[in-house]
Structure 1
Amino acid sequence: MGKMSEEIFVRNDAPVRALIVDDSEDDTYLVRAELGRRGLLVDCRRVDCALDMAAALASEDWDIILADHDMPGFDALAALDVLKRSGKDVPFIIHSGQISDRQAVSAMYDGVDDFIAKGDYERLVPVVERELRGLRARRAVRHADSRIEQLAYFDGLSALPNHHLFCSKVADAIQESRERGRPPGGAVLVVDLDRFLRINASFGYEAGNELLRQVGRRLRAGLGPEIVLARLGGDEFGVFVPGASDRSAVEMLARWIVRSFDEPLLKDRVELFLTASVGIAMIPTDGDVVLELLMNAETAIGQVKLSGGNGLRFYERTMNAASAERLSMEADLRHAVERGELLLEYQPVVAAAQLKPVGAEALVRWMHPRLGRLSPDRFIPLADETGLIAEIGAWVLFEATRQARQWIDAGHERARVSVNVSAVQFAQPRLLEVVSEALRASGLPAGSLILEITESSLMTDVESAAGMLRALKNMGVKVAVDDFGTGYSSLSYLKRLPIDIIKIDKSFVRELCDNAEDAAIVRAIIALASSLQLSTIAEGVESAGQAEVLREAGCDCLQGFHFGRPGAAGLIRL
């Protein structure tokens, strides 16, 4: 934590802002002088009544409060009550000679951080420094909380609401209509940029990112404040028009969106022209569940694309060819395990200190007989929806533990294997039985198996999650929080749930070397994990520079393309 301490906790360039609650001006002067003589620069303000103290807390930020206890009509406990009512997080120290030890202990149970006898400056200085370190650590965590919330609900590229927040707003509007006894109404539009990949291929990804930002600004400027605009991902934007029921008015809006691309976008003074395809799903005609509406709007976009793009279509139920394809894939998935079509690839996880592999993450692939090699995002959601995840998840656990046992038998005694557990799989009590049986069948030590579970899976039902995690811990299995920072906007659950490892999401790592704020967030997460005695693994490490920053910050392990892409087990050189 050396680097972290230097950057977050040390602030010798600024005086400590101290609010002195005391009826003696002389004692206040003496506190400032004595602390300064001992190397602690203090900027003081004295108050001696509840009204003045409340005003001081409301008007300024303070680093610490030193309160005398015995004052006419006002004491330290009354001052503590003023602080509590303000809602401010400021360390509170009683600095008084007029309070008994019993009263002091009782006050500390009530929220006082420490008690120092008046005049004992040799003890006061280290106590103040300790409380300042704690305050700055809490502020760093709150800053990280805020940053994580921004990452969780807003698109980092365009600063627009992201897919998650868009879905929440649509769902909330539908639910509000129902609660008011009105049929839900509105329109969901998906805007897909035509042939956008050619921009990335011709001008590079940064040019593509700049154009996406311009598109977001152009659409936002032309849409009313009541309309929700979001970047859904890639080159897709979502538009939600609450309460819309007039198809002609919605069509007029969609036509404006299409025509808004008639004007060129600029990149380094070069004019670039784009077109867009717009799919429209009406509420409730085309659905009253947000994901269904998005899927139907996407289906409509497919019809626009077949006609060459640069147009719009309303969803129609005859456009359900995609649904037939989905049913066909579901039927194939039901036989994938028995037909031996699933396989595992492994991505190495390296120790940051030695940059040597200490294990690998198992990643499932499906060699579909007709569609070819499919990544998990193509079929795991379908497996979750249909209940097939139980069989597939069991196969992955048995195969991964068997492979890890082979690595250990080959002389790599400390090798570990990580297996992803979906939200649906984690919610099934049978998971414990499957894990236990996989360990027994393979002979793998429980401590060599890491189960990776997303934040959102853990937070769906915290109490049930805690029970499952305790059961896994009792078995000796390690638990990692996957995609840390993207599924929930608070860090408080880290101390509530029995976990072992934090996997820092790649969205934090991507701009680590270029974005000072992201670097500070990563350091704060690593420091927080260290203080909670949790290990850290950084995902998405794609350069030596990122690896070095993470290593210096104290990250335990690294994973990403810089150390190896997912591949066959034999390619992992532990």
Structure 2
Amino acid sequence: MVKSFQYIYNDEHSLNQFIIENGLDRHPSLFIQAFVGNSPLDAIQELQDQINRLVPRSTLIGCSSKGQVADGKIVSDIVLSFTLFEKTKVKALLQEKSDSSKQLGIQMCQEIGQADTKAFIIFSSHLQLDVQEFLDGVSEGGGETVIAGGVSSDLPQKRHTYVFTNQQISTDGFVSASLNGNGLMVQSHAVEEWQEVGPAFKVTKVRGHIVDGINFMKPIRLLEMYLGERFVNDLPDSSIEFPFLAKEKNDSVAVYIMNVLPNGSVELSQEVEEGQEVSFGFASVQDIIQTTTKLLAQLKRHPVETHYVYNCVARRRYISEVTKQELSYFNRISQVSGFFSYGEFGRKGGKPKLMAHSLTYLGLSEGVREPIKDLKVDFQLTPETDAMMSLTHLIHTAEKDIQELTHNIQISEEYYRSLFDNNTDFVYSTDLNGRFNSLNPSFIKTFGFTKDEILGKSALQFIREEDTGRVRRHFYRAMEGREQYYDLPIASKNGEVNFFQIKNIPITVDGECVGIFGIGRNVTKERQFEKKITQLAYYDGETDLPNKMKFREIVDEHISRAKKKKREMAVLFLDMDRFKMINDTLGHWAGDLIMKELAKRIQATLPKGAYPGRFSGDTFTVLLTKDVNESTISDITDAIMKTIQTPFTYQGKEFYISVSIGVGIFPRDGDESTDLLRNADSALTRAKSKGGNNTVYFSRDMKEDNTRKVEMEAHLRRAIDREELFVAYQPIMNISDQSLIGCESLLRWHHPSWGMISPVEFIPLAEETGLIYDIGKWVLVESCLQLKKWLDQQADDFYISVNVSAQQFQHPTFHCDVKEALVISGLKPEYLCLELTETIMLHDAAHTIEVMNSLADLGVKLAIDDFGTGYSSLSYLKHLPLHILKIDRSFVQNMNDHTPDVAIVQSIATMGKGLNMKVVAEGVETNEQLQLLKQLGCDYAQGFLIERPMSSDKMNTYLEGRNLVPSQKP
């Protein structure tokens, strides 16, 4: 069996824990892939050292990367993928570029390839290593062996990127791993789907991989003409966006620009021939989805045990939502890992190839899994993806129209005239002075002018004055033989303005330009849709403020500037205190109105150089970029708190809101947006925990607290299974005769490394993470089972009291959970008492009363814990089926003859008797307190004076000492 574990690297301590917890250090065949992002050399060396010490028998390969995959999600952290094999051996090799790349590929197969090698995984440090030649060498030396992997970077001079093994690191080489064993089953696939965009060209001058001419032009000039200066400046990186599609028989092969030569020639990833046709290619999203869906359907029927995906950075950039869904579906079959590369390795047409804008897949198994029945594949296209598909289709279709139009002019005037007249897009022609000399019917229909009003007139008369310069430039470029695309607003005769996509092409006769053809299409709806997509993608719909994604972009942009100018900045996180109460009281519609008003107030207080945003819900963010210091930050936060505290008026009533603010300062609290935002958010969390309505600046101890909290959550999730949690019992005594009347179950946690952890620390964490429900259910069953055991041993009757959190009580199945605990244990309901906090009444009073009545009908006792410290109202108490009031220990411990606490305790005791309830005093530590409680009319007592909380074994001894259960000794 093959089994994989994905780990997001934090530090050596957590890595060691992960390895031990999953038994990775005990396995003889452990394969590790490390995707380290843009980590520097010393960080990679430290990671190598840790892996070699913690898992010395492992085989490691890794590389720099631009986006990592862990458990089917895209992350920016270092990712370690651990794969355990039972029948497979792994060998690794790092090769520096010193010989021909093809020879290196052959040598790699000879050194780590074997007769039973099923797959090679290969990473290249950058593109400038003749990668395709290396793959050709692998093909020659390794035959039909499956190949997967990718390229770490586009150009080595842009940034240092690395490949490495357990012992070696290189910035200029290949790292490879061979998977060897007859018991290993391998599945591989390459999802690479292209469609032609734009016209076809001919290769007119070529030297092997070097192309000197296309359509008798230097390739770099042709690329600039059709794809623009930005595309050319970003080569060869941008070639993965629009590669050449070289026509070969009945197929087209994607060919990538590997290098731009000083004379304007280009070096391609494979050889092309003179006279061969090439065109531009763009990824076909629809075909990609169809191919991936077929692959997933196959994997449903024959699921693998683990798999890796090596994805293109261009897919992450242009079809990110589709890519995320792909990874999610793969991860539902089995855990998936990988990275985003600048060129992927796989087999296409039987040969290993360097691909781009692709997903290369490698699935591994040593056993057979049952088919997966509950996986439904249904890709959901985002508006951005829909718009991209529509725009590509639009350009492709228009291009076909124009090509057909030009062809018809040359062949048949009659056929041309039919196409010209019946084209649904408007078509026109002008002379070399820009005067109209022909129009099709669609032109007349679109703009409402007659032919007499248009023909012979300059086209510039019908556009805005500010657009004339731009239109002239496109016109002259078309006269030079360069096709032109541009958007233009044009008014019809009735004054209505629409946006049109215009294409100009030269009309040539005997090789000379005699006029210009134009074709136009109304794209007003598309442009409005694109604008709406941008608004939806980057701005909050209620406040029009930048959303989380846009705000992060703003922060990134200003961090880049601040680093150059060595300036400080600050990020504020603002969270409205108890805003949920506004929504619950007034409704969400009113809450939205107040949220808009909040946004206006915040904006009104901000100085120049401040950028507000809405992060989520009732949380706002502010970036301060000018004159940032703690004094100016304090002035701004004071102004924000003051304006928010001004009452809001709704339907004639005033409502008050306060705000908590967390502050993170650049670069002190983070020199990257991720760290700065996270730390400002941590400061906000601290501000909320201090009661709200205050400002807190981030400090390093918060990071330590957060780290401790994250670690504790991970350990708490496994504490029950590891039997680290246990129930302690504290006796409850009848004050009048000092007999045992009950005992309280108290949850305790003994961690093997940290020792005893205070409930004050881990119970709030359990409530925050939602673990409290499962833990509370376990405590309930455990307590009932223990009491039933004591009662069966002929102990005197006494009840057991179990604490219930507000979250647990509000859970829809809580009543059923109580019944289930009683059934499992066989305990009668009257022996179980549930202790509820007063805060339970804050959530949903009607539901709370309904559940309490159903529990009372069941026969269970109900108690209010820590009475007097919360929100209990006598109007509630008299209607609730309560049996016991528990006086909070704070009143008992401060009690003496001259304090108000005596009067409080006496009042609660008197009220309890009036409501026919028993009164328990908690925290009794002295005989004086016990005697005073007796005088004040309390019924029961609990505290260290009677007994401390004890384990079940010690409670057995306690009961034996009171002769309540028979001795268990022989």
TM-score, normalised on structure 2? 0.30
Q: Which has the higher contact order (CA 8 A, sep 6+)?
A: 1
- Structure number having the greater helix percentage: 1
In our comparison, the structure showing a higher alpha carbon Rg is: 2
TM-score relative to the length of structure 1: 0.49
